[in-house]
Amino acid sequence: MKKYDLCVIGGGPAGYAAAMRALDFGKKTILIEKNRLGGAAVFNGALSSKTLWEISTEYFEFRNFAENRLIQSGTASTGLSGKLKPDFDWILKSMNDTLNTKEKQLMKQVEALEMMKGDNFSFINGKGELEDRNTIKITTEDGATEIIQAENIVLATGSRPRVLNNIPVDEKIICTSNGIHSMSGFPKSIVIVGAGVIGCEFATILGNFGCTRVNLIDKEDRILPFEDDDVAEVVIKNFEELGVNIHHNASLDKLDILNGKVSYSLKYKDDSRQTFEVEKALLSIGRVPNIEGLGLEKAGIKCKSGGHIEDNDTQTSVPNIYAVGDLTADIALVNVGELEGRHAVEKIYGNKIKPLSYSNISTIMFLNPEIAAVGMNEKQARAAGLSYRVACYHYSYISRALAKRNTNGFFKILVSDDDQMKVLGMRALGMHSSSAMAAVSLLISTNGGIELLTELIQPHPSIPEGIQECVRMLKHSSVLKPEVFKTGMRCTRVVNGVTVEY
């Protein structure tokens, strides 16, 4: 029986990162993955959907530019603008080429490390199942089995889209995010069940291409209820321009396939009901952890009521077994999964004492425009009873945005209401906004103030210059003055829930 220092079950972002970190410590490691390396970070998840979003955004921008130029040149009447149609087959091929490139990178490293490390690193394409706290049974696709032992184990089997028992998901007419990429063409119409981040992202993608009438079901008064009003209002306005129809205050009563199409009924908060018919449906109602067949009960691992594994800073109820990524439901993001995978290994072999902190985790919502976030927003700060200072700086004053002729967006930064002005959080809407988060995220993790940002020399012209002007407004040292440019600039204090001049 082969013995290892560490066995990692699951080759998605969390598991792959854990295995690679273990090699840094010189530990004999085995990585087990039953499907394809990369998991939801590559397939049916982050990279696939974001590739579609990038292509859709490029198409949307080009179409708008071309149509505007045709109108200005007086040639719109020739019908040229009507010929600007997206090629679905090319789009899918481009997406798959991207996914294959990433998978090849991961596989190339695994194969090279197997040769370089000899018996100290192994990769097996198969299913891993716990027999006890140190024993793992591996079953390959051809049915062959092998029993191994490991001193420590990291579980990183990820998650899958949540479905409902009363909805017949066939991944053709009624899809989850796993099946949406396998469509044979743009549907004429679709209903998206769930107005969370993923549902809104797919509504944006389809809306950008302009070939599909999109209906989005939202239980709340407005989408993105966890975000500030000014953030949500930009998204809502752009959805309207894309032709996305939002069923507000609605809950799904029934959804079924009738005569090859989707029939769905909604119940509204005023008890009224409506029935609609569309070509396709997409369920976007969250994800569930992949714990089936892992043998958790045989190892004595405790789970929460929702099926996620109980953990204390990645360590499960069994001291030598760790759970990372979507299995623990801290924050289901690729960067968080990678962080947790590395952290678990560092706890095992690096004597790491400091627990993980999620306060400076940056996130992106791939909408129209993209939205990047880190730390608190105003809604959260008010709910926590904090007094704070806030500055907003619109893209229309940023030279790079003007050069791109795309000024749809703004920066908003929150700081503590004191002389230190420690960063509490930031929201950024607009092109390249996600690339501007690193400095602010670092300040949050170090509990730092904004002084460094006011003096940091940004490249010119660049979008992050807007962040610099944002913090300079808080220091009363901005180049453009908010008292002159009142539209799109704001610098205020919120004290005990009341907004006052700053």
% of residues, the chain, pLDDT over 90: 79
pLDDT confidence bin for 435, thresholds 50/70/90: confident
For 211-299, where are the E strands, in sequence order? 213-217, 245-247, 250-258, 261-268, 273-278, 280-283, 287-289
pLDDT confidence bin for 16, thresholds 50/70/90: very high
The identity of residue 365, as a single letter, is M
Q: Report d(CA 197, CA 18) in Å as an integer.
A: 27
Q: Is residue 127 left, alpha or beta, with left meaning phi > 0 and alpha meaning psi from -120 to 50?
A: beta
Q: Considering the entire predicted model, what is its pTM?
A: 0.92
The identity of residue 145, as a single letter, is T
- pLDDT number for residue 306: 82
Residue 397 has pLDDT above 80, yes or no: yes
Q: Report d(CA 22, CA 15) in Å as an integer.
A: 11
pLDDT confidence bin for 219, thresholds 50/70/90: very high
pLDDT confidence bin for 64, thresholds 50/70/90: confident
Q: Report d(CA 330, CA 337) in Å as an integer.
A: 9
Q: Which strand ranges, in their side-by-side order, compose the sheet holding 213-217?
A: 174-175, 280-283, 189-193, 213-217, 245-247
Residue 365 has pLDDT above 80, yes or no: yes
- pLDDT number for residue 75: 56
pLDDT confidence bin for 456, thresholds 50/70/90: confident
Residue ranges matching CATH 3.30.390.30 in the chain: 369-496
- pLDDT number for residue 63: 85
Torsion 231-237-242-243 (CA) sign = positive
pLDDT confidence bin for 233, thresholds 50/70/90: very high
Average pLDDT over residues 53-69: 86
Q: Report d(CA 483, CA 476) in Å as an integer.
A: 11
Average pLDDT over residues 435-460: 88
Average pLDDT over residues 427-433: 94
Residue ranges matching CATH 3.50.50.60 in the chain: 2-42+94-161+288-349, 174-285
Average pLDDT over residues 443-465: 88
Regarding predicted confidence, which is higher, 347 or 182?
347
Regarding predicted confidence, which is higher, 331 or 363?
363
Q: Which CATH architecture has domain 369-496?
A: 2-Layer Sandwich (3.30)
φ and ψ at residue 122, rounded to 5 degrees:
-135, 145
According to CATH, the topology of domain 174-285 is FAD/NAD(P)-binding domain (3.50.50)
pLDDT confidence bin for 329, thresholds 50/70/90: confident
- pLDDT number for residue 352: 77
- pLDDT number for residue 408: 93
- The residue among 416, 421, 434 whose CA lies nearest residue 472 is 421
Residue 232 has pLDDT above 60, yes or no: yes
Q: Which CATH architecture has domain 2-42+94-161+288-349?
A: 3-Layer(bba) Sandwich (3.50)
pLDDT confidence bin for 200, thresholds 50/70/90: very high
Residue 192 has pLDDT above 70, yes or no: yes
pLDDT confidence bin for 83, thresholds 50/70/90: low
Q: What is the largest CA-CA distance in the chain?
A: 77
Average pLDDT value for the chain: 92
- pLDDT number for residue 281: 97
Residues 98-118: pLDDT tens digits? Answer: 999 999 999 999 999 999 999
- pLDDT number for residue 347: 95
